């Protein structure tokens, strides 16, 4: 096969269908990235954390969606709510800590309230404005606390008691409408018993968020995972189905993992999640950037926060059962880390893959074609997951993924 000059390199092979490749500008173009924040990230439900990370009333976490600062907090009524982490007075960030408790007294805050340190305005756990300093003197009867509550965001605690938030008040879908179809395959395992986060780390990676999501939706890259390659390529592995669900989600099949074939491996059946067949594995990729990965004894949930066209923050959580004994928990953590920890089998290799792509698709780089043309009867090495994702992406953005200068709607006609 001859190498190609610029013109040849820039001409996709005639035999490729329009949905079998994308233009690399969808990963590298900062203007497209900004548009994605508006049209996709501000309009989707995202699982931002787990209820076990807010175990007590007044516990909170802060985060961002599409750069908007958000605060989630468990109220004294035990309900978890989400608010824009912004003071209605002067637009100041209210809470600066990544997590904590509003029960603790702070130099410029007081117990049981969120306090904007700037001018001392305070809010309760339901977002009511509870204190405006020198209220009467400054606003007389023109403005009062009741006019100046926080902006509450739609928030649901569901599917294994994850806390889901959306910035879009106008979206009438529930989380179940949004993702229930894709998560149905593991819903009974997630909801059988209370879960608990035992592992959390975050990584900031020099790549476009979609490249990470792509990697989660094809398993052809098991050629990079040495151990998967030498132990995993069995008939059952290749029989796994890769199934597209509405709203751009994909279920990357299920199969029984042969842990005995791993180096020093042994079955993890006795710690399998409730209702899960022994050593069974499920993976659900949620549009636009979350992933539920249930591997027998441990659940991993990744949530992405895109920071720029070429940078993504990924939060990695590992979960077990709340009722785990110390010994069970230790083994779950070991199972989790042996695959996904820093010295585990897979995670670092996945990161090498997407960081390599990221460094070859920096903003301003020449447009290239990225191929997603594998058809293998919708099984594990079929790239149907990516094609499905980019169909949804094209619809939301009204841009054709294979040529983002063209409108998706017109091209589809």
Partner 1 sequence: MAWKRVCSVDGFAANAVRKFTVDGVEVVAVNLGGDFRVIPPMCPHMEEPLGESGLYQDGVFTCTKHLWQWDLKTGAKTGVAERDIKMYRTKVEGGELLAFIDKPLEYEYVEE
With binding defined as CB under 8 A, does residue 173 bind partner 1?
A: no
Strands (E), 102-214: 114-115, 122-123, 129-131, 152-158, 162-166, 195-205
Q: CA-CA distance, 360 to 146, in Å (whole number)?
A: 53
Q: Which of 40, 14, 15, 12 is nearest to 24 (CA)?
A: 12
Q: Which of 136, 98, 141, 102 is nearest to 122 (CA)?
A: 102
Question: Which one of 64, 99, 101, 110 is in contact with partner 1 (CB under 8 A)?
Answer: 110
Contacts of partner 1 in 66-105 (CB under 8 A): 76, 105
Enter the DSSP assignment of 127: S
Nearest to partner 1 of 134, 266 (CB atom): 134
Q: Which of 258, 241, 299 is nearest to 275 (CA)?
A: 299
Question: Which one of 57, 120, 278, 363 is in contact with partner 1 (CB under 8 A)?
Answer: 120
With binding defined as CB under 8 A, does residue 122 bind partner 1?
A: yes
Tell me which stretch binds partner 1 (CB under 8 A): 24-32, 120-128, 278-286, 318-326.
120-128
Contact 198, 323 (CB under 8 A): no
Q: How far is the CB of 72 from partner 1 (least distance, A)?
A: 19
Contacts of partner 1 in 123-142 (CB under 8 A): 124, 126, 128, 130-131, 133-134
Nearest to partner 1 of 100, 120 (CB atom): 120
Q: CA-CA distance, 150 to 101, in Å (whole number)?
A: 18
Q: How far is the CB of 78 from partner 1 (least distance, A)?
A: 13
Nearest to partner 1 of 108, 263 (CB atom): 108
Which H/E stretch holds residue 84?
A: strand 80-84
Q: What's the burial of 400, exposed, middle or buried (CB within 10 Å: 0-12/13-18/19+)?
A: buried
Please enumerate in sequence order all residues whose Cβ is within 8 A of that of 360, keeping only pairs 6 or more positions apart, or say none: none
In three-state secondary structure terms, 51 is helix
With binding defined as CB under 8 A, does residue 30 bind partner 1?
A: no
Q: CA-CA distance, 374 to 384, in Å (whole number)?
A: 8
With binding defined as CB under 8 A, does residue 116 bind partner 1?
A: no
- In sequence order, the β-bridge partners of residue 63 are 70
Token pair 């008939």: residue: 235
Nearest to partner 1 of 135, 256 (CB atom): 135
Give how many residues touch partner 1 by CB under 8 A.
15
- In sequence order, the β-bridge partners of residue 156 are 164
Task: Please state at what angle helix 384-397 crosses helix 30-39, rounded to 10 degrees.
Answer: 80
Nearest to partner 1 of 81, 399 (CB atom): 81
Q: How far is the CB of 113 from partner 1 (least distance, A)?
A: 7
Nearest to partner 1 of 105, 325 (CB atom): 105
Q: How far is the CB of 101 from partner 1 (least distance, A)?
A: 14
With binding defined as CB under 8 A, does residue 112 bind partner 1?
A: yes
Q: How far is the CB of 109 from partner 1 (least distance, A)?
A: 9
With binding defined as CB under 8 A, does residue 57 bind partner 1?
A: no
Tell me which stretch binds partner 1 (CB under 8 A): 78-86, 110-118, 299-307, 336-344.
110-118
Contact 42, 25 (CB under 8 A): no
CB atoms closer than 10 angstroms to residue 202: 14
Q: How far is the CB of 121 from partner 1 (least distance, A)?
A: 11
Nearest to partner 1 of 137, 413 (CB atom): 137
With binding defined as CB under 8 A, does residue 111 bind partner 1?
A: yes
Positions touching partner 1 (CB under 8 A) are 76, 105, 110-113, 120, 122, 124, 126, 128, 130-131, 133-134
């Amino acid at each position: 096969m001859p190498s190609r000059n610029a013109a040849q390199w820039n001409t996709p092979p005639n035999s490729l269908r329009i949905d079998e490749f994308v233009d690399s500008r969808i990963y590298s173009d900062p203007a497209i990235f900004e548009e994605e924040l508006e049209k996709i990230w501000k309009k989707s439900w995202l699982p931002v954390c787990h209820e076990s990370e807010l175990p007590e009333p007044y516990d909170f976490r802060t985060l961002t969606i599409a750069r908007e600062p958000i605060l989630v907090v468990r109220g004294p009524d035990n309900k978890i709510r989400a608010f824009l982490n912004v003071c209605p007075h002067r637009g100041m960030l209210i809470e600066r800590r990544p997590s904590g408790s509003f029960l603790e007294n702070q130099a410029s805050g007081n117990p049981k309230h969120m306090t904007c340190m700037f001018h001392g305005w305070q809010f309760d756990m339901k977002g009511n404005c509870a204190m405006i300093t020198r209220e009467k003197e400054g606003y007389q009867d023109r403005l009062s606390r009741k006019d100046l509550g926080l902006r509450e965001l739609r928030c649901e605690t569901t599917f294994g008691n994850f806390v889901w938030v959306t910035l879009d008040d106008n979206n009438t879908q529930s989380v179940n409408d949004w993702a229930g179809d894709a998560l149905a395959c593991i819903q009974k395992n997630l909801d059988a018993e209370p879960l608990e986060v035992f592992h959390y780390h975050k990584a900031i990676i020099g790549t476009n968020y979609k490249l990470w999501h792509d990697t989660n939706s094809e398993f052809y890259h098991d050629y990079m995972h040495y151990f998967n390659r030498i132990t995993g390529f069995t008939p059952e592995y290749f029989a796994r189905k890769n199934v597209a669900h509405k709203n751009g989600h994909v279920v990357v099949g299920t199969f029984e993992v042969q842990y005995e074939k791993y180096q020093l491996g042994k079955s993890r059946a006795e710690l399998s999640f409730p209702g899960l067949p022994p050593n069974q594995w499920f993976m659900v990729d949620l549009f636009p950037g979350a992933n539920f990965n249930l591997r027998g004894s441990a659940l991993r949930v990744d949530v992405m926060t895109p920071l720029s066209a070429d940078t993504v923050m990924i939060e990695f959580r590992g979960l077990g059962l709340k009722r785990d004994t110390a010994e069970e928990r230790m083994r779950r953590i070991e199972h989790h880390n042996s695959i996904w920890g820093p010295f585990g089998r897979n995670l670092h290799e996945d990161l090498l893959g997407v960081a390599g792509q990221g460094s070859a698709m920096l903003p301003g780089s020449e447009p290239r074609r990225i191929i997603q043309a594998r058809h293998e009867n919708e099984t594990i090495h079929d790239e149907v997951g990516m094609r499905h994702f980019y169909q949804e992406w094209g619809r939301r953005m009204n841009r054709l993924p294979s040529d983002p200068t063209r409108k998706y709607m017109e091209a589809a006609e």
